[in-house]
């Protein structure tokens, strides 16, 4: 599973990254979270608001940080 968190160093982006890493750890997916900070990568992926979360190349969340339980549900089922 390819998990990408798009965002800069704003507080919501940091929260989304930390929560996604924790959710991945809970599911045994440690090391699978990529932090995408380059504007060029965000534009290429179609990201128009940060933070954003993509799973296997599909944008699942954009413009808000989710809590750990919501990210766990998203990783397990594909929807929040």
Residues involved in catalysis: 10, 13
Q: How far is CA 55 from the centre of its chain?
A: 8
Question: Is the alpha carbon torsion for 38, 41, 45, 46 positive or negative?
Answer: positive
Backbone angles phi, psi at 58, to 5 degrees: -105, 125
Contact 52, 6 (CB under 8 A): yes
């Amino acid at each position: 599973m390819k998990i990408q968190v798009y965002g800069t160093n704003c507080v919501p982006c940091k929260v989304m990254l930390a929560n996604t890493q924790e959710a991945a750890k809970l599911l045994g997916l440690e090391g699978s979270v990529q932090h995408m900070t380059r504007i060029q990568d965000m534009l290429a992926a179609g990201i128009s608001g940060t933070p954003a979360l993509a799973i296997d190349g599909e944008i699942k969340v954009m413009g808000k940080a989710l809590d750990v339980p919501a990210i766990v549900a998203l990783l397990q089922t594909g929807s929040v």
